[in-house]
Structure 1
Amino acid sequence: MRASLVVHDDRGISAHVVDAGMSPAERLDVYRSTFASVLTKALRLSYPAVHRLVAAEFFEGAARIFIEAHPPKSACLDDYGEKFADFLSDFEPAASLAYLPEVTRLEWAVNRVLHAPDVEPLDPRRLAALAEAERARVSFVPHPSVSFLRVDHPADLIWRAVLEEDDDALSAIDPGAGPALLLVQRLATGVEVRRMSESAWRISAALFAGWPLAAALDEAPNTEASALLADHLAAGRFIDFSLNDTSGNFP
């Protein structure tokens, strides 16, 4: 059935389609149109800023091509569209918008954070109970509603200006001004996208990649590292930890 819907291969399926006033080929065309419309809407909901940046006709045309190349692997529409940024990177009609794939990556991070499950955050008192040598070996398990993203263009400024329909702010943005190091997290009031300093982002990205605490802090020595870790813990950005071997090599 998937082959028939996506690549128009009706072999083997037409015989199973009931002819009720419409030929099997016509009925399958209706199914295909509905299938594509549903997935296009899912992409539009996941990428509202991208949709506004390129306008409806361009977006829907790109979406149709993407859908044929990347049919869904899950029945959950919130999970569909992860590869859209990579697709746009190679999509020649979008080549003049160098920042578009990065805005797309940011919107996917926002989408993932928004739909992440609610998980109880780590109780900091568990860390306090560890010996100092053990704390150096701590590898944190990140909360699924938190993400870190590096973009080469000011994707966050473009994304925000587009969604706020602030044409003056959008026209004032230098698309070549980058990179931007971003924290994307879900709060009670919605999703926050915040810029971080390079040292804070590098330490945070290492921690959220599972590096032991000592190795992560060595990644970018910072006198404010303790305050940064305290902020992550207070904000509930971890859900658990394990004790790792600090003798290993970490990328």
Structure 2
Amino acid sequence: MLGLADGDASAYVIADGLAPQARLAIYRNTANSTLLTALRLTYPAVRALVGDEFFEGAARLFIEQCPPSSAHLDSYGDRFADFLARMPEAASLVYLPDTARLEWAVNEALHAADATPLDLRRLEQLDEAAMQAVRFLPSPAIRMMESAFPIDAIWHAVLSKDDSALAGIDLAADPVCLSIHRGPSGVEVNRMTKGQYRFTAALLAGRPLHDALADAPDAETSIWLAHLLVSGCFVDIRLSNEASSRTAER
């Protein structure tokens, strides 16, 4: 019914003492209020950066132009960052769309399905050849992103209400590569080097370990791989020539 104009939907509404148009208005206001609350919860840093009035106006316009396609509110708002990027009124805040993208990644990691981290003892069972061919299946609660702006610092400063830290952020600083991962203590946002980002992206895309290492000859890569493993970023393994990890366990 959200996608119908009042004139189209009112014919299907029983008046019962209240005009169909009035019933639809109540429904629409309730639905829009629920969606607005969902956006507020997902994008607290964006809201703080632009102020309540601007955020509510932008959110209501977004709701009008991009109604939900399902009743699952946790999945609503994935296009909000792109919407902000197209808003002339937000053009001066060049970092705003990427800040929204970071908050969406945090939201996805937060609400991702639970998964048991990879049992590292399974790697001990692989011989050298199998270890080179192994592929890692990523946790559903890990995301990665790049930005031309220090959006992680902006995000932390805004949410902690640290005005001095926010004022000290250099928007011309080097681009950042970020990992967003939900671990036992919650969602963490951490920086990576460009090399670590490329290596992690290759593993998350399912490339064999041998190929990922070949493109990342840095001596620190093995240390970074150990960090990924102990952090619970992977939940299963496959061998490049196998359809199931059961073969790897033999």
The TM-score with structure 1 as length reference comes to 0.91
Q: 1:34 aligns with which of 30, 33, 45?
A: 30
Q: Does 1:78 align with 2:84?
A: no
User: Could you list the per-position Cα deviations for residues 43-80 of structure 1 after superposition, in whole angstroms to 9, with x for gaps in the alignment?
Assistant: 11001000111111111111111112221122111111
Q: Does 1:106 align with 2:102?
A: yes
Provide the residue aligned with 1:120 in structure 2: 116
Q: Does 1:166 align with 2:153?
A: no
User: Could you list the per-position Cα deviations for residues 191-245 of structure 1 after superposition, in whole angstroms to 9, with x for gaps in the alignment?
Assistant: 2111111211211111112111111112221112221111111111101121226
3-state DSSP of counterpart to 2:3: helix
**Alpha-carbon deviation of 1:16?**
2.0
Question: CA separation in 1, counterparts of 2:143 and 2:183?
Answer: 13
The answer to whether the 8 Å contact 1:151/1:178 transfers is no
Alignment of 1:56-75 (within 5 A): 56-75=52-71
Count, aligned residues: 241
3-state DSSP of counterpart to 1:135: helix
Provide the residue aligned with 1:197 in structure 2: 193
Alignment of 1:206-245 (within 5 A): 206-244=202-240
Provide the residue aligned with 1:135 in structure 2: 131
User: Could you list the per-position Cα deviations for residues 9-56 of structure 1 after superposition, in whole angstroms to 9, with x for gaps in the alignment?
Assistant: 134421221213321112211211111111011011001000111111
Aligned-partner residue type, residue 13 of structure 1: A
Question: CA separation in 2, counterparts of 1:30 and 1:77?
Answer: 19
The answer to whether the 8 Å contact 2:49/2:158 transfers is yes
3-state DSSP of counterpart to 2:187: strand
Provide the residue aligned with 1:3 in structure 2: 3
**Alpha-carbon deviation of 1:2?**
2.7
Aligned-partner residue type, residue 94 of structure 1: A
Aligned-partner residue type, residue 77 of structure 2: G
3-state DSSP of counterpart to 1:3: coil
Provide the residue aligned with 1:20 in structure 2: 16
The answer to whether the 8 Å contact 2:145/2:177 transfers is yes
Question: CA separation in 2, counterparts of 1:94 and 1:102?
Answer: 12
RMSD (Å), alpha carbons: 1.4
Residue segments in structure 2 that go unaligned for 5+ positions in a row: 242-250
Q: Does 1:146 align with 2:142?
A: yes
3-state DSSP of counterpart to 1:2: coil
Matched-pair identity in %: 51
Question: CA separation in 2, counterparts of 1:12 and 1:98?
Answer: 40
Q: Does 1:179 align with 2:175?
A: yes
